[in-house]
Structure 1
Amino acid sequence: MLALQRRALILDLVRRDGAVRVAHLVEQLGVSDMTVRRDLETLARSGSLEKVHGGAVATSTTTTGEEPGFEAKIDLESTAKAAVATAAAGLVKPGGVIALSGGTTAFAVAAGLRHIPGLTVVTNSLPVADLLRGHAEELDAGAPTVLLTGGSPTRSAALVGPLADQAIRSLRVDLLIMGAHGVSERAGVTSPNLAEAQTNRALIDSAEQLAVVADHSKWGVVGLSRFAVLSEIDYFVSDDALGEDARSVLSREVGRLVLADTTSA
């Protein structure tokens, strides 16, 4: 069993039972005590559960109002994030007009767009704009054109607020690729930042199609403010460690569920 699959199973058990013990996981997964403890540490760093003495307890159903910084999130679930980004970039057509939201997964997607010819990218993400503009001189005339919204930066380096919202509402894009702090069946797609949620809503309203990019660790996490319901999503791009319950819900609710292969990331 791959590490990502093992962690997805651990999360399923935690969310079902509310808590797990290391000894039980060792027996059920057939791995060492140290392997289980490393998995729990990784999941705890991503905010998916909370480590306690002898095991872990669920925290993913707790509403979160704290927004992690961009640098704090960039290395979390990096393999899954890379696989998701590659799959999402495959949805983008040459010559199109797309939007990219803030967040580290959207940033990973941007890296895969640099060689798509004739692309126009609208973004409220400072790192995305820096990435695409920084490579423009290295590429030919077909490098993406970048339009950066105004606004005030959040801790995740996304520009939000009335200036950003006004600029976004004047635009129309073919496809919006949007990251998420959390996704759940009841809460939908959420953010811990109220202003960012509002700007994300403006981005959604400007787009013909919506693709949400979120690795398996985002499922079951609920932020303070919802900006989309599952039925609004045309493409939900995640990785192959996503749990069966999540797959069932998303297959029913969204237009198309895309599961990226982490073994090739």
Structure 2
Amino acid sequence: MLARQRQAVILEEVRRTGAVRVSDLVVRLGVSDMTVRRDLDVLAARGLVEKVYGGATSVAGRSTDEPGFEAKSVRQLPEKEAIAGMAAALVRPGTAIGLSAGTTTWTLARFLDDVPDLTVVTNSIRVADVLQQSARTDRTVVLTGGVRTPSDALVGPVAVQALRSLHLDVVFLGVHGMAERSGFTTPNLNESETNRALVDAAGRVVVVADHTKWGTVGISTIADLDEADVLVTDENLPGEARSVLTEHVGELVLASTSGRREELA
């Protein structure tokens, strides 16, 4: 059995039972104690398990956990408002932009009322609802269609096909997690493919994510850190994360809940 196959078996067992023992895995996989420990090291480095004495356990917030929109919408509200305000300042009149699904992009949509002559493409039912409520008559909203996820994103072949024919000036991408090795991630495989299509359609990629997303790893990578032209997050981002992100993203912007803006890269 190849290393990736072993690691997949281990990860599935952790998700099913919540914990695994090295001794049990040695018997099940037919490999040495050292091999099992190396596999656990790899999974732990990716943030998929937490190593403990004699084995490993699931981490808080598994890589496939996907809270519903309502649950996420009440988290980190001041930070999301600050991030949305900073991100909205990057939108120019007369441009075509993309907004992925997510509560931070949903918040951003509410900040776009003062920007004239926009074309907005989104795979988010919630974002489209906000934009359609605007009194502006010079705005075009394009909803991609597709299969609905727990976060009210429209995903799948229909959404991907629609996005592949488009060219957008800037895409604002909300993410489930971000980490040095895993990049920007999501817990939903179909949503990852659709978001990847959004990124590919973008002339410029702006990721909007509050500080709690750092160190969280979803099962699927949307984009590497260096694919973000701008990352707008908040001032509570840990120092270690600031150092890593400054090295990788094009520009790191820290929004303050008091309205200040700090650029680190």
TM-score higher than 0.5 here? yes
- For 1:106 and 1:169, the matched residues in 2 are separated by 21
Question: Is 2:239 the partner of 1:244?
Answer: yes
Match of 1:263 among 250, 254, 258: 258
Q: How does 1:10-159 map to 2 (within 5 A)?
A: 59=59, 63-135=62-134, 138-139=135-136, 141-142=137-138, 144-159=139-154
- For 1:177 and 1:95, the matched residues in 2 are separated by 16
Q: How does 1:198-217 map to 2 (within 5 A)?
A: 198-217=193-212
Instruction: Specify the SS of the correspondent of 1:226.
Output: strand
Match of 1:197 among 192, 201, 208: 192
Q: Which amino acid aligns with 1:210?
A: V
- For 2:158 and 2:69, the matched residues in 1 are separated by 21
Q: Which amino acid aligns with 1:133?
A: Q
Q: Which amino acid aligns with 2:181?
A: R
Instruction: Specify the SS of the correspondent of 2:190.
Output: helix
1:231 — aligned with what? 226
Deviation at 1:263, TM superposition (A): 1.8
Match of 2:182 among 179, 184, 187: 187
Deviation at 1:134, TM superposition (A): 1.7
Instruction: Specify the SS of the correspondent of 1:263.
Output: coil
Match of 1:220 among 215, 218, 242: 215
The RMSD of aligned alpha carbons is 1.6
Deviations along 1:22-57, one digit per CA (max 9) or x if unpaired, are: xxxxxxxxxxxxxxxxxxxxxxxxxxxxxxxxxxxx
Please list every run of at least 4 consecutive aligned residues from structure 1 whose deviation after the TM superposition is greater than 6 angstroms: none
Q: Which amino acid aligns with 2:215?
A: G
- For 1:196 and 1:112, the matched residues in 2 are separated by 24
Please give the TM-score of this superposition, normalised by the length of structure 2: 0.74
- Structure 1: tracts of 5 or more residues without a match: 1-57
Q: Which amino acid aligns with 1:115?
A: D
Q: Which amino acid aligns with 2:104?
A: T
Instruction: Specify the SS of the correspondent of 1:115.
Output: coil
- Structure 2: tracts of 5 or more residues without a match: 1-57, 261-265
Deviations along 1:202-226, one digit per CA (max 9) or x if unpaired, are: 1111111100000000000000101
Instruction: Specify the SS of the correspondent of 1:98.
Output: strand
1:171 — aligned with what? 166
Instruction: Specify the SS of the correspondent of 1:172.
Output: coil
Identity of matched residues, %: 51
- For 1:118 and 1:59, the matched residues in 2 are separated by 45
Match of 1:254 among 245, 249, 254: 249
- For 1:63 and 1:177, the matched residues in 2 are separated by 25
Instruction: Specify the SS of the correspondent of 1:197.
Output: helix
The structure number with the bigger radius of gyration is 2
Deviation at 1:63, TM superposition (A): 4.6
1:52 — aligned with what? none
- For 1:159 and 1:124, the matched residues in 2 are separated by 5
Deviation at 1:59, TM superposition (A): 4.2
Deviations along 1:54-81, one digit per CA (max 9) or x if unpaired, are: xxxx946x75201110011001000001
- For 1:131 and 1:106, the matched residues in 2 are separated by 11
Instruction: Specify the SS of the correspondent of 1:223.
Output: coil
- For 1:150 and 1:64, the matched residues in 2 are separated by 26
- For 1:151 and 1:115, the matched residues in 2 are separated by 29
Instruction: Specify the SS of the correspondent of 2:258.
Output: helix
- For 2:173 and 2:113, the matched residues in 1 are separated by 17
Deviations along 1:146-172, one digit per CA (max 9) or x if unpaired, are: 011010110000000000000000101
Instruction: Specify the SS of the correspondent of 2:169.
Output: strand
